[in-house]
Amino acid sequence: EFHMKTYLVTGAAGFIGANYLKYILKKYDGKEDIKVIVVDALTYAGNLGTIREELKNSKVKFEKVDIRDRKETERIFSENEVDYVVNFAAESHVDRSIENPQIFLETNILGTQNLLENAKKAWTVSKGENGYPVYRDGVKYLQVSTDEVYGSLSKDYEKAIELVIEDEKVKNVVKDRTNLKTYGDKFFTEKTPLDPRSPYSASKAGADHIVLAYGETYKMPITITRCSNNYGPYHFPEKLIPLMIKNVLEGKKLPVYGKGDNVRDWLYVEDHCKGIDLVLREGKEGEIYNIGGFNEEQNINIVKLVIDILKEEITNNDEYKRVLKTNLDNINYNLITYVQDRLGHDMRYAIDPSKIARDLGWYPETDFETGIRKTVKWYLENQEWVNEVISGDYQKYYEEMYGGK
């Protein structure tokens, strides 16, 4: 039976949310009728320019609203028949959480609870005999969480080793992908106890707990996804990869924390968006799904790869030379500078995404070589976007964070 679905997507002016908005509009275009309400407070990390084209679409409505704002959230739920809530809105940068933890608790925990509460109110149609609310058919709440809630894993190998998948079903789903890598023997599964270690990850863990509590206590139809490090277009240049690209183009030093040997599991953002929508549509109510890239790498190798690809692309393409604010000869490993380590720096994250592969058939389709080259080229071709998002605030942030380093 035909029924239009209304998405409420928070944080869609940010990196992953914007990619998700673009993804669902493309995916359902001409196939299924959807409406999307974008809710974003437009913090330093949110930029309407990122979704300028999407906002012209009559199916998309933008609300500049803070997810902590009870009245405004209530209004949005009363004005729209929301079917799906996908919550991306968050303070997302670990370094900022170390400088100023409180806003992380406010947005990530209280903001999440406010969304849940208003969704619950709007979706309740009656009270069941057992006292639990009864909800309108088909409604769902998805919380976008992170692998960081699981804490930090040990790094067991100096160099990456081949990652071997043993589960036959998972192996079959992932068979198109080559070059699966790991730096350790242990992985985060959905059953790994939460052990967050930064104010950011502690706030995300707090949010996960309250989402699960609404699932248990009020039988709300929730799911949670926990994803590893994303990379791709529209990534704000405070995070490792876009920051390094920006600095290389300016001939600036590349600040690598500590020894540069911390390991992250990198996933192309579009693959994450696919996973989120799949969990939203087909995931089992009340469940958690890990999403990861099978693609662990240590920071120093990421930085070197970014230098290599930039150098190659600029050398081979005269168009890109215009973007360069330094001499091509300056693009080399001498730009790398080791700076003071991040406080409480987690050593290694490694996601085991077997559950989403086995149950929903998802796998990280984009291999890193393809994804990182696409990303670097995107930045070379979209410097206007970078200039648009680095306001006066960004300059101040950079000076405060890296000035003394």
Residue 197 within binding range of ligand DAU, rule CB under 6 A: no
DSSP conformation letters of 279-298: HHHHSPTT-EEEE--SBEEE
Considering only CA atoms, which of 140, 136, 157, 397 is closest in space to residue 261?
157
Classify the C-alpha dihedral 184-188-193-196 as positive or negative.
positive
> Cβ of residue 138: shortest distance to ligand DAU, in angstroms?
29
Query: Active-site residue 200, yes or no?
Result: yes
Round to the nearest angstrom and report the end-to-end CA distance of the chain: 60
Q: Which of 35, 93, 120, 252 binds ligand DAU (CB under 6 A)?
A: 93
> Cβ of residue 89: shortest distance to ligand NAD, in angstroms?
4
DSSP state of 34: E
Residue 240 within binding range of ligand DAU, rule CB under 6 A: yes
Chosen from ligand DAU, ligand NAD, none, partner binding at 14 (C-beta under 5 to 8 Å by type): ligand NAD
Residue 257 within binding range of ligand DAU, rule CB under 6 A: yes
Helix (H, G, I), strand (E, B), or coil: what is residue 334?
helix
> Cβ of residue 172: shortest distance to ligand DAU, in angstroms?
27
| Residue nearer to ligand DAU on the CB measure, 94 or 278 | 94
Q: Two tokens at 331?
A: 């693009």
Considering the candidates 54, 147, 238, 296, report the single residue annotated as catalytic.
147
| Residue nearer to ligand NAD on the CB measure, 144 or 222 | 144
Chosen from ligand NAD, ligand DAU, none, partner binding at 66 (C-beta under 5 to 8 Å by type): ligand NAD
Residue 283 within binding range of ligand DAU, rule CB under 6 A: no
Residue 342 within binding range of ligand DAU, rule CB under 6 A: yes
DSSP conformation letters of 124-190: EEEE-TTS-EEEPTT-EEEEEEEGGGG--B----SS-EE-----HHHHHHTTT----EES-S--B-T
Considering only CA atoms, which of 18, 56, 53 is closest in space to residue 38?
18
| Residue nearer to ligand NAD on the CB measure, 41 or 309 | 41
Measure the CA–CA gap between 223 and 220, rounded to whole angstroms.
9
> Cβ of residue 125: shortest distance to ligand DAU, in angstroms?
35
Single-letter amino acid, residue 400: E
Q: Which residues bind ligand DAU (CB under 6 A)?
A: 92-94, 146-148, 228-229, 239-240, 243, 255-257, 262, 264, 299, 342, 349
- Known catalytic residues are 147-148, 200
